[in-house]
């Protein structure tokens, strides 16, 4: 079914140890993860060079897409 919401939905997954730790730290400071992500996306549109330079050292390695390949059967 087509969404009629004004704002498009986005989805992302992060390792649980990062998401849980960030969620606790943000909550202690009065933020939600969603609110923080919105603020970050807004900031990168306003000053991309500054924001990207700040977060670049924390960039996670890219994950492969799709399902892992099946292991080849052992040669006889």
Tell me the per-residue pLDDT of 38-63, one tens digit each, with 9 for 90 and over. 999 999 999 999 999 999 999 888 87
Which pLDDT does position 1 carry in this prediction? 61
| Of residues 31, 53, 57, 34, the one with CA closest to residue 44 | 53
Which of 9-23, 30-44, 55-69 is the least confident region?
55-69
What global pTM score does this model have? Answer: 0.69
| Nearest alpha-carbon partner for 60 in 11, 9, 12 | 12
């Amino acid at each position: 079914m087509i969404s009629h919401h004004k704002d498009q939905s986005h989805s992302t997954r992060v390792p649980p140890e990062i998401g849980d730790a960030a969620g606790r730290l943000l909550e202690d400071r009065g933020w939600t993860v969603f609110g923080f992500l919105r603020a970050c996306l807004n900031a990168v549109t306003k000053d991309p060079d500054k924001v990207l330079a700040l977060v670049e050292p924390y960039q996670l390695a890219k994950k492969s897409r799709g399902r892992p390949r099946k292991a080849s059967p052992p040669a006889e």
